[in-house]
């Protein structure tokens, strides 16, 4: 037979597609929904994540911040200038304590001075002033903006003047909110915000003054506008750590640990959802194309009998596969754009923000390529099967039955065809490539492909074992079971029935869908805890020991207060040595050595548990008995960043000096604070007996409704005028809103991914309907009634769903545990009722999907079906 041209092969492939439209519906649906989920989720999450990261940057007012207590040297300043010259900007913030007074009264007040460059500050977010005005207008060389508590304490109003240093400044506004309030200094005293020029004129920056300097950095728009912005931030951070070895460098993701954890969880889950959409689409394609090619074996046999070669036949079906993949992928991209457009409409009222719609060509290209590639990859094995089979054997396929075990047949098949092994390798490499493209990580792609191989092998083995046990069970109980039940169970391993493949496909689908649900549920629940209305948003500084109970009582009876106040004891100390090495000789990691002279120690509210909001990341917390014995055997727990800067780990010895007392404590644990509780303000926790008899200063925290914060400040000032109130309610409300938006998006996209997965799996089950035609014909010819055939099919579908659901749920919990604990760093909890409900729903959906595809077969007469065949 002469060589078959591509144009002729295309015509034959297109003619067969037109003649069998119904048979290709499941292939196109599987590809289209998989691609739509992939492009819709990826495209929308990309634009929404960009917006969320912008909101996260506003918490720090910059991309990065470098904090130091020393003036930069000319060499360091030149190095910073070189860094920002390549693209970006930098501005300086100066923070210090000073005394201020009214020009009509000489009573001084300790204030926290913050000097900025109003032309640049802030890079992200905005300073909210009352009355409303831009920062450039409010902060000049002769004007300042102050906290409303300063007006209260000095009996002033907007328009009056205060004396700061050797100059008088007119108050033009009060500061309602600053974007970087959380990342700035929580110093004692009301806030005074002024320009750098005004600070220079005040004379406060004398030689040797203890002023903290924060340098804010913003990357250029080009670096921010692409997916590598996080890499650009990380690169700049590394360069700054080298340039400023004693400075504390932090990026925008570290401004709020709760927000950072939420963003990390959302990013990981969205990547997971995209990969799940990809694999579920591949599962649907594999099942549907396998059924289609099995149906075309007669046509293939006829073509071979007429002299067609395997390569020519493969060319026809290869082009057909590409057409199906392209058609399904194109439809999926269109649906994906619709999904991306529809998400903001559904979520606009819920989120109160609408992300800009952006045509993410990268996501669409990956979606279209994934649709075509998965279709092609998963069609390779059945296509390659045709190469070594003679036409006469294909024609006899319906009557040839092998009694060999599944494993024997599998080994024989693999040994007999090295090409099949090559096809499997190509599929794995292709999936690894797609996974790497979807997750933007080669490592993730490799792990994903390897994990998929392991899971598929285990699922196939479990499916084979289940079918073998079922066969043994039927042999033992054949005479004791109703004939309908016996026939329905026997259908699972009848000749030609792809039960093992279908069980593996269903199990894989259930595993991934349930794993996504468990993971998103755990992430959302933990993030909802971090948005609780009981977490402190008002902090109190310098409460005397004899004022603690009075302040606590006032807070508990103040209107607008939610939850119980948190009161934190602090003992000031200094670090003398670590493992006998003096503090002056320690190798520190971005920590000014002078900071070792002002270490804040505290003790937890309960003797045997960490303070609220602290999670142990290394070591173990002490018991109640160890706490009682700590006067002679002191222990200490250290905040993670402090431990990293000091380079200490559990088991090491640290010597502290507080007043005239010295003690050496063993590091028991390293903990991660959530930055939302009052105890997050202390970096070192020891049992209470260790600090017995030492002078204590108390700090407080409470959650107050935003509208009642002014009343609370006035009440505290009237009863406790020496207590400083730090109001971060507005900033923390921004964090809370962003985290809530993340949780809504995760839930919505997870629901969409799960729905798409269910539809794909249902189409995979429905793709087996053509295999049932001959069985229905035989049963009807032998006199079986419709109710009997319906009962047989129902039992078969139900057992398929129950077995696949059980296997899938076991691996779903294993996968969710690995994802949550090791990849996303969230807690995993086994949920019995969730798993039982998912098991029942899987069986129900399997039966429903099978019947939706098969019920029309029962209405056909045997002769009609035989004529079609």
Three-state SS across 143-182? Answer: EEEECHHHHHHHCCCCCCEEEECCEEEEEEEEEEECCCCC
Percentage of the chain with pLDDT > 70?
70
**What distance in Å separates the CA atoms of residue 818 and residue 515, rounded to the nearest whole number?**
10
> If 0-12 CB within 10 Å is exposed, 13-18 middle and 19+ buried, where does residue 657 land?
middle
Instruction: Tally the domains of the chain.
Output: 3
At 93, list the tokens.
């913030």
- Spatial distance between the Cα atoms of 184 and 178, rounded to a whole number of angstroms: 10
| pLDDT tens readout for residues 369-410 | 777 777 777 777 767 766 655 666 555 554 444 444 545 555
Evaluate whether residue 233 is within a structural domain: no
One domain, residues 519 and 554: no
**Which of 712, 730, 709 lies closest to 720 in space, CA to CA?**
712
Instruction: Give Cα 795 distance to the centre of its chain.
Output: 40
Instruction: Note whether 379 and 293 are within 8 A (CB).
Output: yes
Q: Is the pLDDT of residue 411 over 60?
A: no
Residue (of 241, 243, 262) closest to 251 by Cα position: 241
Domain assignment of residue 732, yes or no = no
Residues 6+ apart with CB under 8 A from 401: 495
Residues 679 and 753 in one domain: no
CB 570 within 8 A of CB 698: yes
15 Cβ contact list (under 8 Å, min separation 6): none
How far apart are alpha carbons 38 and 42 in whole angstroms? Answer: 6
Shortest CA distance to 463 belongs to which of 811, 862, 207, 57? 811
Q: 427-449 pLDDT, tens per residue?
A: 777 777 777 766 666 666 666 66
Range of the domain at 634: 538-727
In DSSP terms, 276 is beta-bridged to none
Structure tokens at 520: 């998103």
Half-sphere exposure of 269 (CA within 13 A, CB side): 36
Contact 64, 251 (CB under 8 A): yes
The answer to whether position 126 is within a domain reads yes
Taking the C-alpha atoms of residue 164 and residue 597, their distance in angstroms, rounded to an integer, is: 29
What SS3 string covers 545-584?
Answer: HHHHHHHHHHHHHCCCEEEEEEEEEEEEEEEEEECCEEHH
Determine, yes or no, domain membership for 400: yes
Q: Which residue has the higher pLDDT, 33 or 765?
A: 33
Of 499, 561, 595, 533, residue with least CA distance to 846: 499
Are residue 765 and residue 747 in the same domain, yes or no?
Answer: yes
Q: How confident is the model at residue 115 (pLDDT cuts 50, 70, 90)?
A: very high
Helix axes of 786-818 and 769-781: crossing angle, nearest 10 degrees: 150
Distance CA 571, CA 683 (A): 12
Is residue 23 within 8 Å of 292, Cβ to Cβ?
yes
Q: What is the spatial distance between Cα 45 and Cα 227, in angstroms, rounded to a whole number? A: 12
Residue 78 lies in a domain: yes
Q: Are residues 571 and 615 in the same domain?
A: yes
Q: In 10 A of CB 148, how many CB atoms?
A: 19
Q: How far is it, in rounded angstroms, from Cα 528 to Cα 518? A: 15
Name the band, by pLDDT with cuts 50, 70 and 90, for residue 675.
low
Instruction: Summarize pLDDT for 119-145 with one digit per residue, the tens.
Output: 999 888 888 898 999 999 999 999 999
Specify which of 95-104, 137-146, 828-837 reaches the highest per-range mean pLDDT. Answer: 137-146
- What per-residue confidence (pLDDT) applies to 401? 45
Asked if the structure places residue 1 within a domain, the reply is no
Alpha-carbon gap, residue 729 to 177, rounded angstroms: 9
Q: Which two tokens stand for residue 855?
A: 């019920």
Cα 722 from Cα 287, distance rounded (Å): 74
**342 and 218 fall within a common domain:** no
Where are the alpha helices (H) located in 352-386, listed in sequence order? Answer: 361-385
Q: Say yes or no: 371 and 439 in one domain.
A: yes
Strand-pairing partners, residue 727, are 538
* Distances in whole angstroms, Cα of residue 386 to Cα of each of 8, 159, 420, 437: 20, 89, 11, 32
pTM value is: 0.63
Contacts of 213 (CB under 8 A, 6+ apart): 67, 68, 69, 70, 71, 72, 92, 93, 94, 95
pLDDT at 714 over 70: yes
**Which token pair is 232?**
């650009």
**Residue 549 included in any domain:** yes
Where is pLDDT greater, at 605 or 420? 605
* CA-based torsion, 47, 53, 56, 62: positive or negative: negative
User: Is the model's pLDDT at 261 over the cut of 90?
Assistant: no
pLDDT for position 193: 93
For the chain, give me the number of helices (H) and strands (E)?
Answer: 27, 21
**pLDDT, position 228:** 42
Which alpha helices (H) appear in 440-482, and where do they start and end?
442-477
Considering the domain architecture, whether residues 862 and 837 belong to the same structural domain is answered as yes
Average pLDDT rounded to a whole number, residues 352-373: 68
Same domain, 570 and 665: yes
Q: What is the pLDDT of residues 160-190, one digit of tens each?
A: 999 888 889 999 999 888 888 766 665 667 8
Q: Which residue has the tokens 């520190």?
A: 588
Residue 54 has a CB neighbour count (10 Å cut-off) of: 14
Tell me which of 727, 745, 774 is where a domain ends. 727
What pLDDT is recorded for position 329?
Answer: 81
Q: What is the pLDDT of residue 832?
A: 86
Planar angle of CA 485, 488, 494, nearest 5 degrees: 140
| Domain final residue, candidates 687, 702, 727 | 727
Residue 405 CB neighbours (<10 A): 11
**Distant-in-sequence, close-in-space partners of 750: CB < 8 Å, separation ≥ 6:** 269, 273, 516, 517, 520
Residue for token pair 């000031």: 572
* Residue ranges with strand state E in 161-283: 161-164, 167-177, 191-195, 212-219, 248-251
Residue carrying structure tokens 């109703």:
482
Same domain? For 524 and 547 the reply is no
- What CA–CA distances, in Å, run from 670 to 110, 558, 574, 593, 635? 35, 36, 19, 21, 12
Residues 510 and 656 in one domain: no
Q: Which residues contact 18 (CB under 8 A, 6 or more apart)?
A: none
Last residue of a domain, one of 727, 749, 773: 727
Tokens 């799996």 belong to: 761
Please say whether the dihedral angle defined by the alpha carbons of residues 717, 720, 724 and 727, taken in this order, is positive or negative.
negative
If one compares 709 and 823, the residue with the highest pLDDT of the two is: 709
Q: Quote the tokens at residue 8.
A: 């002729």
- What residues have CB less than 8 Å from 591, skipping those under 6 apart? 246, 248, 645, 646
Is pLDDT at 516 greater than 90 in this prediction?
no
H or E element that contains 735: helix 729-766
Q: Which of 19-23, 39-43, 171-175, 200-204 has the lowest mean pLDDT?
A: 19-23
Three-state secondary-structure class, residue 94 = strand
How many alpha carbons fall within 13 Å on the CB side of residue 635?
Answer: 25
One domain for residues 858 and 827: yes
Average confidence score pLDDT of the chain = 76
Question: Does residue 58 fall inside a structural domain?
Answer: no
Residue 712 has pLDDT above 80, yes or no: yes
For the cut 90, the answer to whether the pLDDT of residue 667 exceeds it is: yes
Closest CA to 692 of 666, 669, 659, 655: 659
Q: Which two tokens stand for residue 843?
A: 């069986």
Per-residue pLDDT tens digits for 40-53: 766 766 666 666 67
* Backbone phi and psi for residue 473, each to the nearest 5 degrees, phi listed first: -60, -45
- If asked whether residues 498 and 615 sit together in one domain, one would say no
What mean pLDDT is predicted for residues 198-211?
79
- With 0-12 / 13-18 / 19 or more C-beta atoms within 10 angstroms meaning exposed / middle / buried, residue 537 is buried
The per-residue pLDDT for range 287-306, each reduced to its tens digit, is: 666 666 666 666 777 777 77
* Position 209 pLDDT exceeds 60: yes
């Amino acid at each position: 037979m002469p060589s078959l041209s591509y144009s002729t092969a295309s015509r034959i492939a297109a003619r067969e597609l037109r003649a069998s439209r119904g048979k290709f519906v499941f292939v196109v649906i599987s590809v289209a929904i998989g691609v739509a989920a992939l492009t819709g989720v990826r495209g929308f999450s990309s634009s929404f994540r960009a917006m969320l990261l912008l909101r996260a940057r506003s918490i720090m007012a910059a991309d990065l911040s470098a904090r130091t207590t020393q003036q930069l040297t000319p060499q360091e300043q030149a190095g910073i200038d070189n860094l920002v010259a390549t693209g970006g900007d930098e501005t300086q913030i100066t923070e210090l304590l000073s005394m201020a007074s009214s020009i009509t009264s000489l009573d001084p007040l300790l204030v926290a001075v913050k000097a900025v460059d109003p032309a640049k500050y802030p890079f992200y977010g905005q300073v909210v002033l009352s009355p409303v005005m831009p920062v450039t207008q409010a902060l000049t060389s002769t004007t300042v903006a102050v906290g409303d508590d300063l007006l209260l304490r000095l009996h002033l109003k907007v328009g009056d003047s205060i004396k700061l240093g050797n100059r008088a400044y007119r108050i033009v506004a009060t500061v309602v909110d600053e974007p970087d309030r959380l990342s700035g200094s929580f110093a004692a005293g009301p806030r005074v915000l002024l320009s750098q020029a005004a600070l220079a004129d005040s004379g406060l920056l004398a030689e040797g003054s203890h002023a903290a300097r924060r340098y804010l950095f913003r990357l250029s728009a080009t670096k921010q506008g692409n997916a590598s912005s996080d890499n650009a931030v990380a690169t700049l951070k590394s360069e700054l750590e080298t340039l400023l070895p004693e400075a504390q460098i932090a990026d925008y993701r570290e401004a709020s640990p709760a927000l950072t954890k939420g963003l990390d969880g959302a990013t990981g889950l969205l990547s997971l959802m995209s990969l799940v959409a990809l694999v579920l689409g591949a599962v649907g394609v594999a099942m549907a194309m396998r059924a289609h090619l099995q149906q075309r074996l007669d046509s293939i046999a006829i073509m071979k009998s007429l002299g067609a070669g395997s390569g020519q036949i493969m060319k026809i079906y290869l082009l057909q596969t590409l057409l199906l993949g392209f058609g399904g992928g194109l439809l999926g991209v269109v649906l994906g754009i619709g999904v991306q457009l529809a998400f903001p409409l559904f979520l606009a009222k819920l989120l109160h923000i609408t992300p800009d719609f952006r045509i993410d060509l990268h996501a669409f290209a990956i979606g279209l390529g994934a649709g075509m590639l998965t279709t092609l990859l998963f069609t390779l094995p059945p296509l390659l099967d045709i190469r070594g089979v003679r036409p006469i054997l294909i024609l006899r396929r319906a009557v040839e039955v092998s009694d060999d075990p599944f494993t024997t047949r599998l080994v024989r098949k693999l040994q007999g065809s090295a090409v099949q092994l090559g096809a499997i390798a190509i599929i794995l490499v292709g999936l690894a490539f797609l996974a790497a493209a979807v997750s933007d990580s080669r490592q993730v792609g490799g792990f994903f492909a390897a994990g998929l191989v392991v899971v598929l092998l285990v699922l196939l083995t479990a499916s084979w074992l289940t079918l073998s046990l079922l066969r043994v069970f039927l042999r033992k109980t054949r005479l004791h079971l109703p004939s309908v039940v016996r026939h329905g169970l026997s259908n699972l391993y009848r000749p030609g029935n792809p039960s093992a493949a279908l069980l593996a496909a269903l199990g894989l689908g259930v595993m991934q869908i349930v794993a996504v649900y468990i993971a998103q549920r755990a992430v959302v629940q933990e993030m909802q805890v971090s948005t609780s209305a009981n977490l402190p948003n008002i902090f109190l500084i310098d409460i005397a020991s004899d004022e603690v109970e009075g302040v606590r009582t006032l807070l508990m009876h103040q209107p607008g207060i939610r939850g119980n106040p948190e009161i934190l004891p602090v003992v000031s100390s200094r670090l003398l040595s670590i493992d006998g090495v003096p503090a002056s000789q320690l190798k520190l990691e971005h920590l000014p050595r002078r900071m070792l002279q002002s270490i804040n120690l505290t003790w937890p509210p309960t003797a045997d548990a960490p303070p609220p909001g602290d999670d142990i990341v290394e070591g173990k917390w002490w018991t109640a008995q160890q706490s009682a014995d700590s006067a002679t055997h002191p222990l200490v727990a250290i905040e993670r960043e402090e431990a990293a800067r000091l380079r200490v780990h559990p088991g090491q010895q640290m010597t502290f000096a507080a007043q005239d007392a010295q003690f050496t404590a063993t590091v028991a644990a390293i903990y991660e604070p959530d930055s939302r509780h009052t105890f997050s303000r202390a970096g070192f926790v020891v049992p209470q007996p260790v600090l017995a008899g030492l002078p204590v200063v108390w700090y407080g925290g409470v959650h107050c409704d935003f509208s009642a914060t002014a009343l609370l400040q006035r009440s505290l000032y009237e009863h406790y005028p020496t207590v400083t109130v730090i109001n971060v309610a507005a900033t923390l409300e921004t964090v809370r809103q962003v985290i809530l938006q993340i949780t809504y998006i995760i839930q919505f996209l997870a629901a969409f991914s799960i729905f798409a997965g269910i539809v794909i799996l249902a189409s995979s089950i429905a793709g087996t309907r053509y295999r049932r035609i001959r069985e229905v014909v035989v049963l009807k010819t032998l006199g079986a009634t419709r109710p009997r055939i319906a009962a047989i099919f129902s039992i078969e579908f139900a057992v398929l769903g129950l077995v696949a659901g059980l296997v899938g749920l076991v691996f779903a919990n294993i996968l969710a545990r690995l994802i949550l604990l090791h990849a996303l760093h969230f807690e995993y909890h086994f949920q019995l009722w969730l798993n039982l409900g998912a098991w029942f729903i899987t069986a129900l959906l399997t039966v429903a999907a099978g019947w939706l595809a098969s019920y029309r077969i029962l209405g056909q007469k045997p002769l009609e079906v035989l004529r079609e065949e």
